[in-house]
Structure 1
């Protein structure tokens, strides 16, 4: 378990991870593009284990660093400050938000492999990218709980994946290794393991806006490691790039 978790990006996923980490006894250093002062309320809510900083400072402070910003901004990540770090990449490609990116439309590279190219001196692990923020908070369970969920991870370095798995365990989930960064597409939108299994089956007859709000409120259903492995195995490459899934 890391002593300090750095977070670059403090939106829904970042703030939820910060809450889970603080509950687990991990110090967090949060950052975003708007500056540390914009995080004052969140830091006050989280208490003495939390602090705010610039992205460069959060990168240098973290034993592990989570990057959770829009993928279109991946090249703004502070590569020098992240050198030598294990970086957990939660980012996904959403064409409706990020615009069309030829690298992904042609399946030439996965998003995490592209991030790894930018962060050449860091070690990237894909993690926390296939669950909506609300269910990330509500489905966290202690180790050994019968209703504990699992999350997939992918990366090229075995030690980095072990570090990621320890963090995931600390915040309430099991980790399932699904392979290398080139395999990380298997947990991307809109593959079978992406978001929907953790939310469960929505009520029938909901419109798009209603479905979005339902996803923000439903406590979700557990997805154990065996189910994650089965769902990952069902993924087909052409399923990716379908746009933003409501509730994420």
Structure 2
């Protein structure tokens, strides 16, 4: 099944590029409609299909990669009252204009807020701690694999997203439920936010 991406900014494009490079099929959308994404699809190849937001949202795995200030609008445009246990990957961060300042969430983690916006979904926080340049880069390095953090309240959904990240070349680290892991990886403020870590390769000791 294709993976749906809502949002075609820097994060959405970087993640789409990694997915397509790994042989995944991707349905990508934005608020301006499929025609605005034809050039991107031509550049990335047949693995990427432009679509409406509603079309991207019907896939079994959906990535939210829109600016925080437009998140509610994007989800409302899907017009879904029950996400029916689809996996929703939250790659957003609670940063607002004019200078990417932290948004006041009333003491909650951002993914707990997002979870309320997608009732019935199995929400997994992932792909939010790396800048677009690193997210879109080859995950494997001479030293090892770049780390992707994830967290969520559904073990099965966490495992599926971890497998996806590993298949794309990253080293997945599951931080547990949103109330704990979501805070650790939240940008800004989380102690793991913006960290670029490498899981080192074990040295070959064979003779």
TM over 0.5: yes
State yes or no: 1:64 paired with 2:39: no
Change (3 A) 1:110 1:190: closer
- Contact map agreement 2:95 2:103 (CA 8 A) in 1: no
- Contact map agreement 1:83 1:119 (CA 8 A) in 2: no
1:161 to 155, 158, 161: 158
For residues 76-91 of structure 1, the aligned pairs below 5 Å read 76=73, 77=75, 78=78, 80=80, 82-91=83-92
By percentage of residues, which structure has more strand? 2
Larger deviation: 78-87 or 162-171?
78-87
Q: CA deviation at 1:79?
A: 5.6
**3-state SS of the aligned residue for 2:120?**
coil
| Partner deviation per Cα, 1:76-123 (whole Å, 9 max, x = no partner) | 312627433100001111144577754x2x31x111111111111111
State yes or no: 1:224 paired with 2:199: yes
Aligned-residue CA RMSD in angstroms?
2.2
TM-score w.r.t. the length of structure 1 is 0.71
For residues 76-115 of structure 1, the aligned pairs below 5 Å read 76=73, 77=75, 78=78, 80=80, 82-97=83-98, 101-102=103-104, 104=105, 106-107=106-107, 109-115=108-114
State yes or no: 1:152 paired with 2:127: no
4+ runs deviating over 6 angstroms = none
Change (3 A) 1:42 1:192: same
By percentage of residues, which structure has more helix? 1
| Partner deviation per Cα, 1:213-239 (whole Å, 9 max, x = no partner) | xxxxxxxxx5228xxxxxxxxxxxxxx
- Contact map agreement 1:87 1:124 (CA 8 A) in 2: yes
Q: CA deviation at 1:150?
A: 1.2
Determine the C-alpha separation between the residues in 1 that align with 2:146 and 2:191. Answer: 15
- Contact map agreement 1:89 1:127 (CA 8 A) in 2: yes
Q: CA deviation at 1:50?
A: 1.3
Determine the C-alpha separation between the residues in 1 that align with 2:120 and 2:83. Answer: 7
Any unmatched runs of 5+ in structure 1?
199-221, 226-248
| Partner deviation per Cα, 1:111-150 (whole Å, 9 max, x = no partner) | 11111111111111000010001011224129xx751011
